[in-house]
Structure 1
Amino acid sequence: MKIAVFLRGNISVKLLLIAILLPALCSAQKKITGTVSDAATNKALSDVNIRIGDSNVNITTDSKGKFEIILKDESEIRIHLSHISYESQQLSINPDMSEVNVRMKIRSYISEEVTISATRNKKHSAFAHDNISSEELQRSNFGQDMPYLLQMTPSLVTTSDAGSGIGYTGMRIRGSDATRVNVTLNGVPVNDAESHQVYWVDLPDLASSVDNIQIQRGVGTSSNGAGAFGASVNILTSKVSPLPYGSIQSSAGSFNTFRNSVGFGSGLLSNRFAIEGRMSKITSDGYIDRASSDLKSFYLSGGYYGSKNSLRAVILSGKEKTYQAWYGVPEDSLKTNRTFNPAGLYFNKDGEMKYYDNQVDNYQQDYYQLHYTHSFSNEFSFNSTLHYTRGNGYYEEYQDEDMLSNYGIADVIRGNDTVQYSDFIRQRWLDNDFFGLTLNGNYQSDNFDVHASFSAHQYLGDHFGELIWSEQGVIGTPPQRYYFNDAEKNDMSGYLKFIYRGIENTEILLDLQIRRIDYSFSAPSVSGEMINQESNMTFYNPRLGITYMLSPGKSVYASIAMAGKEPVRDDFINSSPASRPGSEKLTDYEAGIRYQRSNLNLNLNLYFMKYKDQLILTGKINDVGEYTRQNVDNSYRSGAEIQVTWQIRSNLALQANASFSRNKIDLFEEFIDDYDEGIQRTIIHKNTDIAFSPSIISSAMLSWAPVKKVSLDLIGRHVGEQFLDNTNNKNRMLEAYFTSDFRFRYTLNPKWMKELALSCSVNNLFDKLYSSNAYTFSYLYGGQLSTFNYFYPQAGRHVFAGVSFKF
């Protein structure tokens, strides 16, 4: 009964079911087979990506270089062939053909993709993954942060503090938050080494400098940086363009949002050298009160691209200044004032409520990367990366009536009065350096590939606070520092990956990784004294995957992967050695089937993720008086992910996915503060849902090109209900929501430029009122249990429009 009610109200799942069932009723008119080979050696080429027309339907060649295309009508189509080591190619296919032989020429220079090839899954990999091209990103790029451009990915849920996707945004994949999603940029870790967070706000308009992204769900294959417990996001920045170009992009929209971006590329100079760059500025007032954003970024890449060697330097810088909106909206304000923002609130001497103008987060992050690649032969290559990431900034707060003793300031005697409280303005700083080296060796042959990697990274972070003003004049010359602690983290890892294809129609992957963490920091002892402490951890992360090709375009696969992950900074510094939580462990079992035709892609992936000692919030106060996460013995996530990409007609396409899951904790203790008795009460919970883990997530996009140069997209997304904690309490829950977007794009090709495009996006088309994130806490007082929920409401109907020029 529940399923029937759900389907009646869920358009994206309806479209998914139509996409699965209807193609079975459509008979193919013409099958065309093809083979792709090396133009010089006639060697069959596997894993050549073939995109059908301008659709999102992609097929790949099998181990023998073969593929199949089905023509449904008499019209001609164009296919686009691409491979990491070969020049891209286009070819027209018509119904008169029965067989196609394509010969691809090897590139005259080494592609940037070699840099990250060892951490990428190939099309037939036994691990669930999706590839997102720059073209797909640009269709929805109006200045929103990266998570909002990836919303068509299975099992992905986004949220925005400001409510409009600009500023502080985040995403969860399979219910796992950002600290459990490994993100790399050209193979370099992006997750903060201590908190494991990814701050997309520090990378504004990154999508304008991205060539493609691969998202691996689950543990995935070996990568650099923090362990992947929900997914990994592997980003490759723009590849060199053989021809010179220039671009201008501008957009504007609701909440006084503006985005301007300028880019250029020299093309290959003397067939060997190239330089490319971009500058962007994004501003927005945000949907939530005062949740403004002022974002700036630039990207610069230059290098030498030879047939055997390449040397490429990349600089990426992002600077953000955002008004804080991370406190959420109290539940009782959602109906009466859903854009209320308590950040910066204080009362002046007359008792009037005011908001501090500079309650902002102000931070800059700069990435410097140097990539070197050498090809010894067609089979063997080596690449290395040197990187340095510099971060520096603070967030500023007005503290109303705060105790002097909180800042190490003694009470001030003034005549007969003792000053114990004062209003303060404080800044909390983070000043960090992250640098390292990555070495990769790659060997590829007909029957097997070998990838070996070693990486070493060091993080140095200073955390300190400064008082810059006090109402009572109790500080000296500002700024006055009131705390300081530093941290050092060394992260070394290595992996050896074998891919064996010696058994007909079978591919076997064995991936062995070892990772060593050495972390030193300041934290309290059991007696409360701040002392220098260390934590050392070693993780062994094996992976095994098998893929069997049933026929061209049809395959089944299965994999098992194990991963370990250290706690985050707060777990370390807010505990003593006696109460410190341990590392988390995960065993990920996956299996699936892939079906590819020229007009249809179907993927079904099943997973069972078994956690040992997963870290969750329980409300427990530890021996140093802090609320920290606790290890729970057993928990799991299991589910099914279905994906469909269907080119219904030459001008009509459907892309849809749905995820159905169970996310459970076997047993844990909830702790509730009892202020009447001065103790903590405990409640035992069994078989409860893991917080922020909706059992159903689905999305669908129907794309129609009514006339040439015009495209229309109708998008629907459904996210099921989510609990705010792990207690299954209906009073602490995010309601399910369904939203729709509409996009329009009109492209022209005038003689005086390569392309002129006009675009528009109407987000939340039907003005749905919903919240995408929240937090909760409860306590006992006066014999009553009080629960407080704070929500992050998202914007109703809002519009962005843009224009882009390419020269």
Structure 2
Amino acid sequence: MKNLLVLGAALLALPCTSAWAQGPVSGTLTDAQTGTALPGATVLLDGLASAATDAAGTFSIPAVAAGAHELRITFVGYEPLVQRLQGQPTQQQLQARLQPGGVLTGEALVTASRANERTATAYTNLGKEDLQKRNFGQDLPYLLDQTPSVVVTSDAGAGVGYTDLRIRGTGTTGINMTINGVPLNDAESHGAFLVNLSDLASSVSSLQVQRGVGTSQNGGAAFGASVNISTLNNRREAYGETQNSVGSFGTVKNTVQFGSGLVGQHFTFDGRLSRIKSDGYMNRAASDLKSYYFAAGYQQKNTLLKFITFSGREKTYQAWNGVPEPALTGNRQLLQNFVDNGELTESDAARAVQEGRRYSAYTYDNQTDNYQQNHYQLHLSQGLGDDWNLGAALHLTRGFGYYESFRARRKFVNYGLANVVLGGDTLTRTDLIDRKWLDNYFYGGTFALNYQPKADDRLQATLGGAWNRYDGDHYGEIIWAQYASNGSIRQRYYASNALKTDYNGYARATWQVLPQLSLYGDLQLRHIKYTIKGNQHKPDAANAVKGVVDVSTRARYTFFNPKAGATLTLAEGQQLYASFAVGQREPVRSDFTDRPATEPAARAERLNDFEGGYRLTLPQTRLLGVPTAVRFEANGFYMRYRNQLVATGQLNDVGTPLRTNVARSYRRGVELTGLISADDKISLSSTLTLSQNRILGYQDVTYDAEYKPMVGEARTSTISYSPGAVSAHTLEGQPLKGLRLALLYKTVSRQYLDNSENSRRSLQAYQVLDARVRYTIRPTFVKEIELGLLVSNILNREYAANGYTYNYLGASGGLDTFNWYYPQATRNFLASVGVKF
């Protein structure tokens, strides 16, 4: 491995006169009338976000290629500045002045929830260009794989279909996700199912990942991180683009994007159509994903009004059951144990031997998940004088769909049906096909009133909040049965309705007390009312109630979440920061409906998050005579929980992890990130997270033959799915003009499948090396053609990034453990062709 990385670095560093004929461009941005510095402005080079002005109004672009370019600078309440720029081998210094009174930009709408250098928290910003160079058609979590503390996984094994990410060991149920300030997480499960919005990354203008509690967000509290997505940026010039990828496992992506630019000085129109198909690495794990995005905007001097609609429809063959351990190891004795205890049938076991790590439990040809999600958003950004602006939005999300399953030998009584009498025989079971439906609406409004004075930016403040409501139906239908009994067509055997109202308000401010010292405060009050009426079906299993059971629930919560921090500037480009934040969140639906009767009711979680760190930013320095940019950050965190809901390692019948409260637990560690970029021709970025993730006084629970709990001794244990070390490294270079090569290396240490800290129930540590090539040419007949190649897992490692486990007294009379894993693809590739008109 060491030799391979050295060789890669050598290849990337090959000299080329034309490639190094680039120089940095820096400048200072001020108000043309008052001369006041303008922090937080967006600087775009050739239409792509390249920099932002800091507190002193300065910006820096590490390298600008030789030739003509367009530099565009926008800031809320000012006319945009557009000027031609000629790339030179030497440094260029600009003095830019903006005229007041410009049209508001879409970015004003997400400023309220974004962290910045004054908010004393850990965050990572990704622009459109950052996402584009990573986007070959895999889901959004895979585009975030190189950001700090992130672990990604795919049910189908190749990054298309059902994918997931964890940040600091916390899954999507603890990661707050918003699109343009509107909550994306499902109101009941708290999950963010990005399979419903395939190729969303192609429409993203900017994205911020905040780690820890972060700033106040709409929707559920961030218990590990928040992902803030914006699609609001306007492109003033007309454009047309197409991106097409093809690769391993029958993966195909086709995307068409278009935009009108600014029409009549007031109107903009943007759209996208996408289709992604993949057979998946796992057998019978295909995905068929379709999506669209459309936006229409109107803008004048101090007003921006924008309507956005986007939708995704997915059909995925179910792969959420994973692969039994003996299919990976080839252990015949263990395989027989799975058979003896009813985990596998004899035919399943035979297929597990034949298919190995690509085994799929399902053979019914329509064992599929089918879901569509339509989003509608109306955004207003209004300037209110020189120092104030208002961002507000109305939203509606409409979701509906089902998953279809073949069920063998199911009891009539568990579906509300009578036994069947044939002659003198009474039949109590039948094969059947059912559909479990979700049909829901999520709607509401958000607002943020921002105080951003132009003359004196020492005090900036935001007053914001949201009101949201979820109305969702859950029901099941039998669409076929070998013996119909007294059922009718589309026999509905369970039904429930859930109503959830969530509203919050927050006030946030940053105050530059001294030239070197900035203080930050954020107060949020959130209230939730949640009601479930009706019943739900439970599968036939030793650890669950059988048949249809009443799941009626009423719950109310009121949370007060304060946050505070301070940032000290040591010198130019150097900062120390520290913060404290409180996050509280309610249990999710499955915590209420799937909880074993032997356990007490689920309780709300509380997190006290302490963060502190050091940042170094040197946008302009010289190493070995080459213009070089250097960034480094060390962030320490201590996250102390009360009643944290942690995964038990088990799943319910729709693949949702089951969780339990633990009274006291914590996560503590350090995140190190660094970047060194030489003239933008060669760069190395690295991130390393070292952490301890512990439950205090944990008592392992197992069950005897009569399903009575057996409680172990209290001890300190590691939290499930929480690796102690995660790292990501990207070595990227441009040996020839237009040619960019990159090596991406990822490491994840051991993860435990439950909270017993038992190595027998764990995911082995793994290391993955990917390679990426992109080559751009600019012929006369189109604006740009880009050819790309992504080779994933080039070392052909066999590893699993996720799994689950359960144990009980088996047929042998001893405690048997049953592990199931989600193997990830061995060496595979995606090739792409992109054209810009």
Distance between the aligned counterparts of 1:583 and 1:609, measured in 2?
A: 16
Structure 1 pair 120/55, CA: closer, same or farther in 2 (3 Å)? closer
1:672-711 aligned at under 5 Å gives the runs 672-675=702-705, 678-711=707-740
Q: Distance in 1 between matches of 2:507 and 2:488?
A: 56
Partners in 2 of 1:107 and 1:751 — Cα distance? 38
CA distance in 2, matches of 1:62, 1:620: 47
What are the within-5 Å matches in structure 2 for residues 716-727 of structure 1?
A: 716-727=745-756
Check the 8 A contact 2:553/2:592 in 1, yes or no: no
Number of the residue aligned with 2:581: 561
Question: After superposition, where does 1:520-531 map in structure 2 within 5 Å?
Answer: 520-522=531-533, 530=550
Distance in 2, Cα, partners of 1:259 & 1:592: 41
Deviation of 1:607 (Å)? 0.5
Q: How many residues align?
A: 774
Question: CA offset at residue 137 of structure 1?
Answer: 0.9
Q: State the alpha-carbon separation in 2 of the partners of residues 10 and 734 from structure 1.
A: 28
Counterpart of 2:686 (choices 656, 668, 672) is 656
Cα distance between partner residues in 2 of 1:269 and 1:115: 22
How far, CA to CA, are the matches of 2:616 and 2:691 in structure 1?
22
| 2:340 pairs with 1:311 | no
Is 2:230 the partner of 1:202? Answer: no
1:37 equivalent among 22, 27, 30: 30
Aligned pairs for 1:334-353 within 5 A = 334-336=328-330
* CA offsets 1:579-635 (integer angstroms, 9 cap, x no match): 3111000000001111111211111111100001111355999xxxx9963321211
Which one-letter code corresponds to 1:226 in the other structure?
G
Match of 2:55 in 1: 63
After TM superposition, the structure 1 = structure 2 runs for residues 187-586 of structure 1, keeping only pairs within 5 Å, are 187-336=181-330, 355-445=363-453, 446=456, 447-474=458-485, 476-522=487-533, 530=550, 532-574=552-594, 579-586=600-607
| Pairwise CA RMSD | 3.4
Q: Relative to structure 1, is the Cα distance of residues 673 and 577 closer, same or farther in structure 2, using a 3 angstrom cutoff?
A: closer
AA of the residue aligned to 1:684? E
Question: C-alpha separation between the residues in 1 aligned to 2:120 and 2:670?
Answer: 15
Cα offset, 1:476, TM superposition? 3.7
CA distance in 2, matches of 1:726, 1:649: 47
Is this contact kept in 2: 1:466–1:482, CA < 8 A? Answer: yes
Tell me the distance in 2 between the aligned counterparts of 1:666 and 1:522.
36
Please, what TM-score do these two structures have when normalized by structure 1? 0.90
Offset, 1:44: 1.0
Aligned-partner residue type, residue 383 of structure 2: S
Cα displacement (A) at 1:571 = 1.4
Is 2:118–2:520's contact at 8 Å kept on the other side of the alignment?
A: no
Change in 2 beyond 3 A, CA 1:120/1:577: farther
Bigger Cα displacement from structure 2, 727-736 vs 780-789: 780-789
Seen in structure 2, the aligned counterparts of structure 1 residues 638 and 725 have a Cα distance that, compared at 3 Å, is: same
DSSP 3-state at the match of 2:108: helix
Equivalent position amino acid for 2:753 in 1: L
Aligned-residue offset at 1:551: 2.0
Residue 84 of structure 1: CA displacement? Answer: 4.2
Question: Which of 777, 781, 791 does residue 748 from structure 1 map onto?
Answer: 777
- Give the corresponding residue for 1:3: none
Identity %: 40
**Partner AA of 2:605 in structure 1:** E
CA drift of 1:491 comes to 0.2
- Residues 24-56 of structure 1, C-alpha deviation per residue, up to 9 Å, x if partnerless? xxxxxx999853212343211223466899999
**Within the alignment, does 1:668 sit opposite 2:676 as a pair?**
no
Q: Are the structure 2 counterparts of residues 33 and 324 from structure 1 closer, same or farther at C-alpha, using a change threshold of 3 Å?
A: closer
SS of the residue corresponding to residue 129 of structure 2 reads helix
What secondary structure does 1:202 align onto?
A: helix
The match for 1:156 among 144, 150, 166 is 150
Alpha carbons of 1:297 and 1:75: their partners in 2 closer, same or farther (altered >3 Å)?
closer
Cα distance, 1:82 vs structure 2: 4.7
Equivalent residue for 1:714?
743
User: Does structure 1 residue 804 correspond to structure 2 residue 797?
Assistant: no
Per the alignment, residue 596 of structure 1 pairs with 617
Separation of aligned partners in 1, 2:657 and 2:45: 54
How many angstroms apart in 2 are the aligned matches of 1:763 and 1:618?
A: 31
Does structure 2 conserve the Cα–Cα contact (< 8 Å) formed by 1:50 and 1:79? no
The amino acid across from 1:379 in the alignment is: D
Q: Using the alignment, how far apart are the partners of 1:415 and 1:405 within structure 2? A: 20
Q: Distance in 2 between matches of 1:197 and 1:682?
A: 30
* Contact 2:27 2:93 (8 Å CA) reproduced: yes
Q: Distance in 2 between matches of 1:600 and 1:330?
A: 47
CA contact under 8 A between 1:47 and 1:123: conserved in structure 2?
Answer: no
Amino acid at match of 2:323: V
1:595-674 correspondence to structure 2 within 5 Å? 595-598=616-619, 599-617=629-647, 629-674=659-704
SS of residue paired to 1:334: helix
Deviations along 1:539-583, one digit per CA (max 9) or x if unpaired, are: 000000111112221111110000100000011224589931110
Matched letter for residue 304 of structure 2: S
CA contact (8 A) 1:537 1:566 kept: yes
- Alpha-carbon distance in 1 for matches of 2:274, 2:412: 43
Contact 2:496 2:535 in 1 (8 A): no
* Amino acid across the alignment from 1:437: G
Q: Kindly state the Cα deviation for residue 89 of structure 1 after the two structures are TM-superposed.
A: 5.8
Is the 2:495–2:535 contact (alpha carbons within 8 Å) kept by the matching residues of 1?
A: no
Task: Kindly state the Cα deviation for residue 752 of structure 1 after the two structures are TM-superposed.
Answer: 1.7
Post-superposition Cα deviations, 1:245-287, rounded to whole Å, max 9, x if no partner, equal: 1111111000011111111101111111011101011111000
In the TM superposition, what whole-angstrom CA distance separates every residue of 1:672-707 from its partner, at most 9, and x where no partner exists? 1111x5522111241211111111111111111111
Unpaired runs of at least 5, structure 2: 10-22, 352-360, 537-544, 620-628
Query: Once the 2 structures are TM-superposed, how far is the Cα of residue 103 of structure 1 from its aligned partner?
Result: 2.5
Counterpart residue identity of residue 643, structure 2: D
1:358 aligned partner, one-letter code: N
- Is the Cα–Cα contact under 8 Å of residues 721 and 753 in structure 2 kept in the other structure? yes
Match of 2:797 among 752, 755, 768: 768
Compared with structure 1, are the counterparts of its residues 188 and 95 closer, same or farther at alpha carbon in structure 2 (3 Å cutoff)? same
Contact preservation (8 Å) 2:196, 2:313: yes
Contact residue 12 and residue 718 of structure 1 kept, 8 A? no
Q: Which residue of 2 is the match for residue 27 of structure 1?
A: none
Say if 2:62 and 2:680, in contact at 8 Å, map to a contact too.
no
Q: Deviations over 1:160-207 (max 9, x none)?
A: 000000000000000001100000011000000000011110000101
Paired AA for residue 580 in structure 2: I
Give distance in 1, aligned partners of 2:260 and 2:156: 38
CA contact (8 A) 2:769 2:794 kept: yes
Closer/same/farther in 2, CA of residues 89 and 151 from structure 1, 3 Å limit: farther
2:170 to 176, 180, 189: 176
Rounded Cα–Cα distance in structure 2 between residues aligned with 1:714 and 1:620: 36
Aligned partner of residue 700 in structure 2, secondary structure: strand
